[in-house]
Structure 1
């Protein structure tokens, strides 16, 4: 009986794998509604307006945003899936998004919801748009999985769906820790070749060479609270932590327009300037975040109450003043934050290419500072990756001064960073041919050790990808972190390291730094050190005493060090 049960289970598993290898949706072309459900009171009916074939599904009469056509599918836990459909908005509404979401019910009856694909700030004038993305099924036993289509924030709009598809991603090799370590070794390290000559009478067993990395060249940084930083008497430890452990910094929201000019014509640049000068004096480089932010909730009321003509002039004046104030102090500027998802200025001016104008203006004002796009859900999740890629290609082709793509990485609580999915999304984004920076990294977990695991998983996946040129945490102290104490690396007035902080610093300052000693009696006159990129100090000891000391920098090219040791 046991053997028969085992065989039956194997047959069922083979059948399940075979089913998920192909198309998982039934009636994805919407020639019929077989397999589809439509939650009451929404109405899902076939219509002759279609993307292809004879029909699509028309969705109207919704009372809640999630109400739309949905279907149960069978997925394998922990696997990566591709999802796409053609969707069409029928009523314009500000910041309306067309979305494909996935709801997972686990065997313990808990639920996980994942945004799988989206088209943001949709317009009726666009007609049919291709909504596509990817998602990873939870690494937990699944009871059921439902794919559903929605449009939000307004439930009153109607939309159509056609040519929907869900398939398991094929030919995807799971990314292991071993693979990431190999990538880190390949892309973050170079060889240091030592050729040592010893004079007559110098015995190898009396010569020791210490190779010590004193500074890393890869940017590891964090945002920080400019007000707390400037309060030197109360928060010296806060300053000290930033200076000691990071080489890049972002004055969090001190450069946001709503901070600088909350009330019209009442400017405050000094808080940001004091903090920027402070970190620069300690050798840190600084990112500017951000000149403009098109999310309506971050636009000051006084801007909303002036005419579009006047507003256009005001935006231009703000960018000119701010960039002149910060000239020579910043390496990067995020020009207009999160414009993939929010387009308040574009909508106010009825100009979908307004952001190109902002980039051109910023590049003319300061052609030396690097201008960035910056957005979310392009690496942590896959619902906006392809749209971000298209946006970057558009800006690069327009020759408006685009220098980089900022990928925010705010991992939701309960979501373990998936190295395989992260690699797939970064691989896609890298095809734009634009440098990628992780501009806002954080995870959330109540348990400090779990938080440490999450940070390590994220950092290894991101640092191990060759397209990533810098990683910035979006805060580290529990008393100032925007996501609260459960995202922090340090806690309390004394900035005590949490388990997550200890893990992160072990990666930054131990595992990903080079510190080696070589005795010539064991290594011989010629040996190699595989070192992380950065600044180095070499000390040659003869008979236990320092004999030679010098410094050099290691970059992408191998270095050869010639040494002569005299008695």
Structure 2
């Protein structure tokens, strides 16, 4: 038979730990729930609840949640000039602003292609620059900073009242560092980071709704390895000093996409966030949970269970880079992911990763 992972977590000896997950079965028949560990240990399971849902029941529950969380009932009473109610009055309603934030990745090609500009600005209320704000784009060569392109992209977004997410201050992946950054000693790296933060965060202070402060710092640890375990927390603190307007995010992949990836589990995400929040001076910062959401075949029940776990932090959750691998069900899967996010009360915005390029797109 096939094994379908429903969840994973890190447990400690001598105490109980809650596991919430989910899985989809595409075949009828007998099934078994199986628990395993990566070490030799005795497992005890208690208060287990396994709830079955049909696809129709799942969608019905999702529709109910959308109606509750995203819709409001409005009662309109029309009075005539004499003050009496007009029961048969004809009304016309026009939406003047979009509610739930829906965005997309924006690429520099938008500056030169009017059709791309029209397509983007007519659909989205949020933009994330794909690469143009990243350190390797603004200072690929040491002390040679280039901000002309992100400046122009931000100006274009402001022209259309499109909110912009800052992406990103730092990326914890060793492979994403410029050669000159990788060669710096710890004191030199700290100085270079301070300069980077001062330049990019101060430059766009007051103009961004979010900053992805540390990208993928659950999978990777370049800055922690160089500067110590509190490197992430210190960066959050310094970014907030330079600009206290944006919500500050960790931004991670596979937290809701892949239950077999142990690095970014929802419980580990919350533990890292708590570590950052508990650092001296960080308790009152504005935090957000960024979930990249790069999917192959979505495990929608696992997505919901993971969002429920992450919502315990009581900070805004954003799906920041949604895409689905190319295939015959790409559109169907994309709709499922977007509707699941839209239905969850903890999710406050969705950004697609449909980054457009003249020669090819990244995934979508």
TM-score normalized by structure 1? 0.56
Matched, 1:241 2:122: no
Q: 1:246 Cα deviation (Å)? A: 0.2
2:346 maps to 467
1:260 maps to 138
Can you list the C-alpha shifts for 1:305-352, whole angstroms capped at 9, x where unaligned? 222211111111111111111122211111110111110111122x11
Q: 1:444 Cα deviation (Å)? A: 2.0
Matched, 1:411 2:295: yes
1:426 maps to 307
2:193 maps to 315
1:347 maps to 225
1:136 maps to 23
1:299 maps to 177
> Structure 1 361/196 Cα, relative in aligned 2: closer, same or farther at 3 Å?
same
> Structure 1 142/299 Cα, relative in aligned 2: closer, same or farther at 3 Å?
farther
Q: Is the 8 A contact 1:132 1:386 kept in 2?
A: no
Where in structure 2 are there 5+ consecutive unaligned residues? none
Task: Write 1 or 2 for the structure with the bigger share of helix.
Answer: 2
2:333 maps to 454
Can you list the C-alpha shifts for 1:420-466, whole angstroms capped at 9, x where unaligned? 2222111110101211111111112333xx22211111111100000
Q: 1:76 Cα deviation (Å)? A: 8.0
Q: Is the 8 A contact 2:356 2:362 kept in 1?
A: no
Count of matched residue pairs: 349
Matched, 1:187 2:69: yes
Q: 1:355 Cα deviation (Å)? A: 0.8
Q: 1:292 Cα deviation (Å)? A: 0.5
> Structure 1 82/223 Cα, relative in aligned 2: closer, same or farther at 3 Å?
closer
Counterparts of residues 529-540 of structure 1 (less than 5 Å): none
Matched, 1:364 2:244: no
Higher deviation after alignment, 275-284 or 212-221:
212-221
Q: 1:137 Cα deviation (Å)? A: 5.6
Q: Is the 8 A contact 2:257 2:298 kept in 1?
A: no
Larger Rg: 1
Q: Is the 8 A contact 2:7 2:302 kept in 1?
A: no
Q: Is the 8 A contact 2:291 2:319 kept in 1?
A: yes
Q: In 1, Cα distance between the equivalents of 2:325 and 2:266?
A: 22
Q: Is the 8 A contact 1:389 1:429 kept in 2?
A: yes
Q: In 1, Cα distance between the equivalents of 2:35 and 2:360?
A: 34
Helix, strand or coil for the counterpart of 2:251? Answer: strand
Q: Is the 8 A contact 2:233 2:275 kept in 1?
A: no
Where in structure 1 are there 5+ consecutive unaligned residues? 1-73, 88-129, 151-159, 488-567
> Structure 1 75/337 Cα, relative in aligned 2: closer, same or farther at 3 Å?
same
Q: In 2, Cα distance between the equivalents of 1:84 and 1:469?
A: 26
Q: In 1, Cα distance between the equivalents of 2:192 and 2:173?
A: 17
Q: Is the 8 A contact 2:78 2:85 kept in 1?
A: no
Q: In 1, Cα distance between the equivalents of 2:138 and 2:334?
A: 32
Q: In 1, Cα distance between the equivalents of 2:80 and 2:98?
A: 31
1:81 maps to 6
Q: In 2, Cα distance between the equivalents of 1:169 and 1:131?
A: 10
Q: In 1, Cα distance between the equivalents of 2:341 and 2:350?
A: 8
> Structure 1 201/254 Cα, relative in aligned 2: closer, same or farther at 3 Å?
closer
Task: Write 1 or 2 for the structure with the bigger share of strand.
Answer: 1
Q: Is the 8 A contact 1:359 1:402 kept in 2?
A: no
Counterparts of residues 1-150 of structure 1 (less than 5 Å): 81-84=6-9, 134=21, 136=23, 139-140=26-27
Q: Is the 8 A contact 2:23 2:299 kept in 1?
A: no
Q: In 2, Cα distance between the equivalents of 1:373 and 1:345?
A: 14
> Structure 1 209/173 Cα, relative in aligned 2: closer, same or farther at 3 Å?
farther
Q: In 2, Cα distance between the equivalents of 1:86 and 1:203?
A: 64
Please give the root-mean-square deviation of Cα atoms over the aligned residues, in Å: 3.3
> Structure 1 149/200 Cα, relative in aligned 2: closer, same or farther at 3 Å?
closer
Q: 1:479 Cα deviation (Å)? A: 4.5
Q: 1:478 Cα deviation (Å)? A: 6.9
Matched, 1:385 2:266: yes
Helix, strand or coil for the counterpart of 2:104? Answer: strand
TM-score normalized by structure 2? 0.85
